[in-house]
Structure 1
């Protein structure tokens, strides 16, 4: 029952000499200020259970003591267990929504050392603010920057901002405002009690002078790197204001982003290495949502097989890799995000992730990969594998027929069917991060559009791309492999398998005939009713053999 070793969320504490209440509360606060977890009292660092001290044999009141000696009160649950006949206590610690201190005012957090073992370290003031911002409790970007004045704003960056509103189709009302009114509308300044205005972090990041940013926002830095076959072709670091930074990154990236043209009817459709809308949205998101209390640059790195964009600061609370597509927007720096939306740089609906996914999937490339994201960094990888031109032509034709872009769920469904060949609604639900009912509606809509074909009954229904789509993508044989096996062919395959191996299980039927569980059940029942096969039970296992 005891975990094999300590980790970021597991702590062992020996109780042979009676662990003091102060040490125990500190260790629990340490877990709460990170990811929560469990503390095993009466267990040595090597995982050996040595038991509770006599004074801890009765655990009643332990949870109350922890709550009384922490602020705000930390609510833990305590379980009395026996491991190998030795009494131990498992204390479950929730992740704190903010930060928790001991009664003595000690703030600590948990981290992993270079050797992979955990330790508790003090939470410094900037780390406490950083944690609060990740929970949406503090908006650092709306706070004044100490020592900064209105003279720190750059007139050239103001003009760049006005041009950006026109270029990106932002809120044109901003163009009618004078400088002071625009500063107020975009949250660039905050008015103090004496009536004076001082720049906020958002103001300095967007229209501040570069020299001021270097001095007063030391954490702001960005890098563009081009790495080709282990050689560094481009490697520059800058501290530009954000709008200038985006222009600089886009200008330097374009020479490395070749395009080919696709002829669709009378139109020529560009097929770039990386979709520029996805590039701009991904880079802007990294600059907007980074943690400005952490040192480290926003990296935009073009590698041999992918464009990788990373920023300091993990995902904010409530956002995970499993709900990235569907969760409500939760910006870490709300004032900065709102300003960039009004300027038009990022998606105003807050669904910029959709733009990034669309920019990859519409060209038949793999979906964006956030798999390397951790507690400290968000890492986005955009594969730069060759585009599937035939798939892109199919998407263009489909969107022209409906006179609108395909919904992002439909693009994900088409890409998944292209990769996995056959899917059920339940399987697609995991890809679009929605429930099975939503996935079924997406598949049925694609069926009505003539892009997807349904197979089987309602309960065990599965879907493939249509013959017409396979024809467009020049893979006609794949369609036949997927749907060409009729019921008689399935029966012959099943009987041949039994003759070779003596019996067959339902899971083997699913794999052999590429059927869903419901379809496999239906096939086995039909053959049993026809006396072609007989069911045999061996304990909890069920198999089918040929009738004699």
Structure 2
């Protein structure tokens, strides 16, 4: 069995998903069904269609009409609009033939030549299905891919005179309060509307954009023209509901009211660091503000559902309708270029000063958790339909905070990469560059450079060389925290101690394997191998067996 066939078998074992479809070909799958399945994949995330495989994963093979797979790409090109170019390969599995049709994700909406427009979605039981692609979902699809800006669409049925002038005053006050573009304050109302893109002229009549309606609309206008727009604020203590408020007011007014609701639940203490008193809140205000603004601004306004802000015993969660925009995911959240589903609205909020102007608000959310020694914000509950962030209600690590504050006093703000590294080492004690790279979301070379800078500044200590090099928090940090014994345990033992531990283990148990050495001395695979080789070269132990059966005795 070749590599490709192993790959096909692995796909079949994985089962059907949003990007993988099985189709039986026992009765010769009709061209219409074949093309519709390809279209549904292209209109979602792309993926693979395995022709000749049943829904349960059993291989039943290709019909004679499809045995020559070279005709399938041209069939699909001729039967799709715009044409989809697919790659088709035939493989032999279990003495039967299977066609793997690889479908790219389309950057535009695709239908069959018969006008069938479908997409894929997951049912409640986690299995996929093809469903019609309705007109109201077109904008949603295009905005998630950054092809259109829904917030810049003009609402031609509304006149600018219907908007609430008091909301312009809120905009001006927000610019003063949050340090927005001061030049906007000198503009007259109509000039301000034009400069921010709140209104545009259509046939010599000023009409609001969707962003303009969100900023200046009355509650009645918002209900009538943006029925998806809603914000919920809830406070739960166990099963007891303390607060349960819903808002459909203009965006800045909603933001201010939610922030006001949140304020009583903030608890703050202070610690002394040098000459300064440093506040320690249970939730960082800037992180909360940035997460709330992100939820309000980047949500999908074509999808019904509220932005939910929930405080409970476990922590703070903020969720908004609409998944991550094209190109952004859990694996690159920290490094993906700033993009918005609603670029005009995002630009307005930045210019007013409500959001981080560099577009790196996500860094502020991480910083607001990590600098206090709390867990990183958790986005793992996000899915294709919702973005959700959870900030745990965890006690601050005051020793860690003091360390960060002292660093900032000497060298300026600590980079987010350094905070992530220090936070993980605080929790997991000893890690390699490869262990840390996924958390920092940068190449190992970049992470290694950051680690070495932290070594130079005295925050970390390295152990070993090459790819097996590990890092721990430095003795100085453990000493400041009053955890000297923890440092000794984590930093490991001198080589002569490690040798003696291995010999004592063999004396007691009769032999040892490399995995035992790794566990006993807190070493990785290559380091354990070198230690055992050193003892073998000294003729203190001898090796029996090879590879996974290798063991060492006196």
Specify the TM-score bucket, using the shorter chain as the normaliser.
over 0.9
Residue 110 of structure 2 aligns with which residue?
100
Deviations 1:248-292 (A, max 9, x none): 111001111111111212221111111000000000001111111
Shift of 1:458: 4.6
Per-residue deviation, residues 104-150 of structure 1 (Å, max 9, x unmatched) = 22211112233443221111112111011000001101111241220
How far apart, CA to CA, are the structure 2 residues paired with 1:217 and 1:293?
8
Match of 2:21, SS state, is strand
Instruction: Specify the alignment match of 1:353 in structure 2.
Output: 362
2:181 maps to what in 1?
171
**Is 2:508 the partner of 1:500?**
yes
Alignment of 1:12-411 (within 5 A): 12-192=22-202, 194-402=203-411, 404-411=412-419
Look up the match of 1:541: 548
RMSD after superposition: 1.7
Q: Does 1:524 align with 2:523?
A: no
Equivalent residue for 1:8? 18
Provide Cα deviations, 1:446-499, integer angstroms capped at 9, x if missing partner. 122121122223553221111221122232221011125111111111112223
Confirm or deny: 8 A CA contact 2:512 2:553 kept in the other structure: no
* 1:88–1:459 CA distance, 2 compared to 1 (3 A): closer
Contact 1:67/1:75 (<8 A) preserved: yes
The gaps in structure 1 that reach 5 residues or longer are none
* Partner Cα distance (1:434, 1:4) in 2: 28
Distance 2:204 2:530 in 1: 77
Q: CA deviation at 1:95?
A: 2.0
For the residue of structure 1 that corresponds to 2:504, the secondary structure is helix
Contact persistence 1:417–1:423 (CA under 8 A): yes
Please give the alpha-carbon distance, in whole angstroms, between the structure 1 residues aligned to 2:86 and 2:239: 50
2:347 counterpart SS class: helix
Residues 19 and 45, structure 2, Cα contact 8 Å, conserved in 1? yes
State the secondary structure of the residue aligned to 1:60: helix
Q: Is the 8 A contact 2:492 2:522 kept in 1?
A: no
SS in 2 for 1:301: strand
Answer whether contact 2:315 2:390 (CA < 8 A) is retained. Answer: yes
Contact 1:391 1:472 in 2 (8 A): no
Could you give the per-residue CA deviations for residues 59-94 of structure 1, whole angstroms, max 9, x where no partner exists?
212111101211221122222233332333222222
Q: Which moved more, 1:174-183 or 1:456-465?
A: 456-465
5+ long unaligned stretches in structure 2: 1-8
- CA separation in 2, counterparts of 1:318 and 1:104? 31
Q: Match for residue 489 of structure 1? A: 497
SS of 2:310's partner is strand
- CA shift for structure 1 position 518: 4.1
| 1:467 corresponding residue in structure 2 | 475
Q: Distance in 2 between matches of 1:247 and 1:214?
A: 19
1:441 aligned residue = 449
**1:499 to 1:31, Cα distance in 2 relative to 1, 3 A:** same
Contact 2:19–2:48 (Cα < 8 Å) also in 1: yes
Confirm or deny: 8 A CA contact 1:37 1:92 kept in the other structure. yes
What's the counterpart of residue 464 of structure 2?
Answer: 456
Distance 1:93 1:231 in 2: 50
Shifted more, 134-143 versus 517-526: the winner is: 517-526
Distance 1:153 1:543 in 2: 79
Asked whether the equivalents of residues 318 and 390 of structure 2 are also in contact (C-alpha less than 8 Å), the reply is yes
Q: Would the aligned equivalents of 2:17 and 2:128 in 1 still touch at CA under 8 Å?
A: yes
Distance apart, 1:7 and its partner CA = 2.8
